[in-house]
Amino acid sequence: MNVSERKTNGRNSNALLWIVLAGLAIIGGGFLISLLTPYLFPAQGSTQAQQVDNLFRFMLVIGGAIFLLVQGVLAFSVIRFRAKPGDVSDGAAIHGNTTLEFVWTAIPAVIVLVITIYAYQVWQTTRAVQPNEQVVGTVGARFAWSFSTNVTPDQFPAGVELSQLDPAVQADIEEDGYITITSPQLHTYVGQPVQLQMVTQDVLHSFWVPAMRVKQDLLPGRTTDIRFTPVEAGMYRIVCAELCGSGHGNMAGTLVTTDDNPVYQGAWLNVHADEAAFRREFLEPETLAVLFPPEDPAARGRQLLASGAYPCNTCHVLSDLGWTGNLGPSLDGVGTRTQRLSQTGQPDMEAYIRNSIRRPTDFLVPGFGPLMPQFNPEPDQPNYMPEDHLNAIVAYLLTQTE
Amino acid sequence: MATIIAPPIGAQAQAPRRLHISEYLRWSVDHKVIGVQYAVTSLFFFIVGGILAMLIRAELLTPQLDLVQNGQQYNTLFTMHGTVMIFLFIIPMWGAFGNYFVPLMLGAKDMAFPWLNALAFWMIPPAGILLLLGWLIGAPEAGWTSYPPLSSLFSGDGQTMWIMSLHLLGISSILGAINFIVTIKNMRPIGMGYFQMPLFVWAVLAQAITIVMATPFLAGALTLLLLDRIAGTAFFNPAGGGDVLLWQNIFWFYSHPAVYIMILPGFGVLSEVLSVHSRKPIFGYRAIALSSLAIALVGFTVWAHHMFVSLTPELRIPFMITSMIIAVPTGIKVFSWLGTLWGGKLHFTPAMLFALGFLSMFVIGGISGVMLAAVPFDVQVHDTYFVVSHLHFVLFGGSVFAVYAGIYHWFPKVTGRMLNDRLGQVHFVLTYLGFFFTFFPQHLLGMLGMPRRVSVYAPEFQGLNVVVSVAAFLLGISVLVLFYNILRSLREGRAAGPNPWRALTMEWTTTSPPPPHNFHGDPVPFDDPYGYGTEASAAYIDAIERRFGPSAPLSTERRNMPAAQGGD
Ligand SMILES: [Cu+2]
Ligand SMILES: [Cu+2]
């Protein structure tokens, strides 16, 4: 009696030892797996990235441990419990074990509870409103991004007198209190929190910068926003993550983060007179271009298209501006492409190009589908293109003869 | 303690009845014929969807367009692939297993509503044709999720066909589910309470309840989308007062439960196969049975985790909580299955290999699922290859592995012939390796920055994409091995006998294939469908053998080894 009791006790404590050892090995394995985290993500570009990666690393420790546990038990069972050849007997008639079942219900419940709380905290901090944000308007249109910043008169370059300006520009400023400068790139600064306010011209898009670990859909009928604070200077890819049609894979953009002048960190909205370099870099040239549009319509058209205010570049090739889009016909030489003019029902090339933009489906270039968005004359319509912009763009395209 | 008392009928039960193809091409109300009709139709669409997958992977070998001419053609490829695999392969494939085996497992002569059963099946072929014909009139390009406004204002006329096709499939699915619920409620034999039912029947019950509750929402969403497309309404168009998120909410209110529609019967198959081929009772029967119901019900509260980058940010938190909770019952199942293996006598039949493969792959899908439920991480990988990977770990590593396990387990019952073991092992190894290397690297692609649904991608992702594509081709080849095995065994497979696995559930208490009315006389269920390891169960199996002739192939060995008789 005594002997057998001692024997069972010995076996029990042995089993306990094995369980503890296996448990430690599994948790240690989970830690080792989690060391891979930095190699699984692109370099961290924002404070958000640091927090998301930490959350992931935490989940990878747990996930890795569970992975090892399950595969380990499977492998052990496959080896240890395989039926010997010719053995047709049955295994032990065990139907369950309430304690065990309670344990493997309770432990996962606690684990997901902890993950939920941690994830909630990360979610709150990554989205928190920061003081002094750089607010950038973001427009998604099939299949390009454009970014715009509002500049109020007190931010205008020194020496600009409102009265010098073109009456149309003056009227604009009077109405809104600011002018809008547009760029196909998103400019940000290290340490400067950014808030994007995003709208779409057509279907759903999703703004994603993998290096920043932020993503948000652009929804027709709504303005959505997203926040991040860059921590590393560099050029980052902006990706469209929501299926938006034929050019979805091409709908990429560039995010530039600079830190070359620490004086201007955090200074986006409070530009002072002595921060000349900052203004020289980006704000002034862009602002001046809007304030003093070139007299020559063709030059103005070129400037408009180069600014990225319209999403033409993803669909068209245009060597003069370095466009490489492949969804529509090349615009190189479009100004003298007269061979099809008779079929289009338009009197001359100017009328044809104008109509190609205002009503693209009236005549489809052979070999292409009705993919080009219609650019409309009224501000409340999608893909708004004011008449004077259209005139300038048409004038510019007519100069593209080869 | 149950035994079979009826006298043996003789050797006639041994010779497998020849299957006449013509029987399967016409209207029949026999649930077994309908089951086979479902199976063959689904396997056909499995091939269609598989070919589309191969085309997708061929295109993605390089970062530029080469196989397709433009993004639109590519969009159509994955739209069709997803739609076909979900609505024309996996869901009808579970219809096949359910139809054939639920009545047999209940000892019933047929389903409760045989005519309705046939009707539900015959909606599927026209729906499939309708969907594929879309290619001729302007293919749909909005993905299987078909978010407006892309699906309402842009996608071609094939999108309208897509809607009609899904409508038909939805009705078919609802009719089938009602039939299962009524059958399971009313046609259990005397002595079989709910908690004596085989777990596959439990799983089908949970699935059928989910279908009946969820699929009407799909019908509603589809109807609104149809009206937006053809009648000028603006349910999903903000310009006319509509809302694009409305679609996402209703669609996912159906489509998240649809994930469980696709996986629950697979859980059922797994419980059968693991228990039978480990010769051990299922561990924690009640926990497995009830967790199916828990999953089905909690599954209705998690839909918006598919909208973690479109939903109002504050609203994402409650859906994170529910999505985390649902991991618990799923974990219970996995641990119970591991408990079933522990201390068993594992026979590595192809069915068992696929069941073990399911366990080892599905757990990865479960882990990535919990990660995806954590909003801040989901935001990074939403709409990327990480999600593509996750969903295939659940639906291929889960559902398809379970379908394979089910095929190897029950093919002998349906045809009276055994599938070839050696080919089954080759099939398993190719599938396991091909599957892992196709889908595991996709986690990485997604985290590093490759979105899903793109035909062109950044050049730095090419290396991983080549690995994925090559592995995918291997996976494609693995399917050919299965089909070769099936066709070969239909002609020259070894005769199966009534109960080749010496299992205790009732489908094995009759000849293979079963006679038109399923049983010779009134079958008596064994009181525990998983009661292996007892004298009584051995006696029950012996009684089946005495009545219908020897089981093959295991019990032939058994006969030669009297020492092993009677359990231990
Ligand atoms: Cu987009
Ligand atoms: Cu897109």
DSSP secondary structure, B111-170, as one string: -S-HHHHHHHHHTHHHHHHHHHHGGGG----STTTT-TTIIIIIS-THHHHHHHHHHHHH
Distance B541 CA to ligand 1 centre (A): 62
Distance A252 CA to ligand 1 centre (A): 9
Q: Do A90 and B321 touch (CB under 8 A)?
A: no
pTM: 0.88
Q: Do A115 and B374 touch (CB under 8 A)?
A: yes
DSSP secondary structure, A67-125, as one string: HHHHHHHHHHHHHHTBPPTT-----------HHHHHHHHHHHHHHHHHHHHHHHHHHHH
Identity at B561, one-letter amino acid code: M
Chain B partners of A126 at a C-beta cutoff of 8 Å?
Answer: 376
CA atoms of A391 and A197, how far apart (whole Å):
29
Q: Do A88 and B561 touch (CB under 8 A)?
A: yes
Q: Which strands form A214-218's sheet, in the order they lie side by side?
A: A185-189, A252-258, A234-240, A205-209, A214-218
pLDDT beneath 50, residues of chain B = 1-16, 554-568
Does residue A3 carry a pLDDT above 80? Answer: no
Give the N- to C-terminal CA distance of chain B in Å, as an integer: 18
Pairing mode of beta strands A252-258, A185-189: parallel
Nearest-neighbour CA in chain B from A353: distance (Å): 23
Q: Chain B: residue nearest A242 by CA?
A: B383
B290 touches chain A (CB under 8 A): no
CA atoms of A243 and B199, how far apart (whole Å):
40
- Phi and psi (nearest 5°) for B212? -65, -35
The ligand that comes nearest to the alpha carbon of residue B456 is: 2
Distance A313 CA to ligand 2 centre (A): 15
Interface of A with B in 30-49 (CB under 8 A): 40-42, 48
Write out pLDDT tens, residues B306-327: 999 999 999 999 999 999 999 9
Residues in CB range of A8: below 8 A, 6 or more apart: none
- What distances in angstroms separate CA B251 from CA B115, B177, B238, B247, one per listed residue? 30, 19, 18, 6
Q: What is the pLDDT of residue A267?
A: 36
Q: What is the pLDDT of residue B493?
A: 86
CATH number among 1.10.760, 1.10.3470, 2.40.50, 1.10.1220, domain A303-397: 1.10.760
DSSP state of B495: B
For chain A, which residues make up each domain, given as ranges? 8-76+100-126, 134-292, 303-397
Please give the residue that has the higher pLDDT: either B528 or A381. Answer: B528
Interface test with B, best of A41, A74, A81, A88 (most B CBs within 10 A): A88
Q: Is B417 left (phi over 0), alpha (psi -120 to 50) or beta?
A: beta
Chain A partners of B374 at a C-beta cutoff of 8 Å?
Answer: 55, 59, 115-116, 118-119
A134-292 — its CATH code?
2.60.40.420
Would you place residue A261 in the very low, low, confident or very high pLDDT band (cuts 50, 70, 90)? very low
- For B247, other C-beta atoms within 10 Å of its C-beta total 24
Beta partners for residue A376, in sequence order: A384
Q: Chain B: residue nearest A217 by CA?
A: B310
DSSP secondary structure, B72-84, as one string: HHHHHHHHHHHHI
Residues in chain B: 568
Pairing mode of beta strands A134-141, A194-200: parallel
Q: Confirm if A51 and A87 have CB atoms less than 8 A apart.
A: no
Chain A partners of B65 at a C-beta cutoff of 8 Å?
Answer: 326
CA atoms of B164 and B222, how far apart (whole Å):
8
Q: What is the pLDDT of residue B16?
A: 45
Write out pLDDT tens, residues B341-384: 999 999 999 999 999 999 999 999 999 999 999 999 999 999 99
Distance A233 CA to ligand 1 centre (A): 26
Would you place residue A46 in the very low, low, confident or very high pLDDT band (cuts 50, 70, 90)? very high
Q: What is the pLDDT of residue A260?
A: 55
Chain A partners of B236 at a C-beta cutoff of 8 Å?
Answer: none
Q: Do B70 and A220 touch (CB under 8 A)?
A: no
Nearest-neighbour CA in chain A from B222: distance (Å): 19
Long-range (24+ apart) CB contacts under 8 A made by B543-546 are B543/B3, B543/B4, B544/B4, B544/B498, B544/B499, B544/B508, B544/B509, B545/B498, B545/B499, B546/B4, B546/B8
Q: Confirm if A314 and A144 have CB atoms less than 8 A apart.
A: yes
- Residue B403 has which token pair? 């379908």
Nearest-neighbour CA in chain B from A36: distance (Å): 11
* B245, B332, B452: residue with CB nearest A105: B332
A58 touches chain B (CB under 8 A): no
- Phi and psi (nearest 5°) for B183? -60, -50
B336 touches chain A (CB under 8 A): yes
Distance B485 CA to ligand 2 centre (A): 43
Long-range (24+ apart) CB contacts under 8 A made by A160-166 are A160/A288, A160/A291, A165/A291, A165/A292, A166/A292, A166/A293
Q: What is the pLDDT of residue B96?
A: 96
Mean pLDDT of chain B: 90
CA atoms of A253 and B561, how far apart (whole Å):
73
User: Three-state SS for B548?
Assistant: helix
DSSP secondary structure, A269-295, as one string: T---TT-HHHIIIIIHHHHHHHHS--S
Write out pLDDT tens, residues A155-210: 777 777 777 777 777 887 888 888 888 877 888 888 889 999 999 988 999 999 99
Identity at A26, one-letter amino acid code: I
Does residue A269 carry a pLDDT above 80? Answer: no
Helix (H), strand (E) counts: chain A: 11, 12
Write out pLDDT tens, residues B132-171: 998 888 889 999 999 999 999 888 889 999 999 999 999 9
Please give the residue that has the higher pLDDT: either B7 or A375. Answer: A375
A378 touches chain B (CB under 8 A): no
- Ordered by where they begin, the domains of chain B are 30-559 (1.20.210.10)
- Residue B84 has which token pair? 């076909």
Q: What is the pLDDT of residue A4?
A: 44
Distance A248 CA to ligand 2 centre (A): 4
- What distances in angstroms separate CA B425 from CA B18, B357, B399, B420, B421, one per listed residue? 27, 12, 19, 9, 6
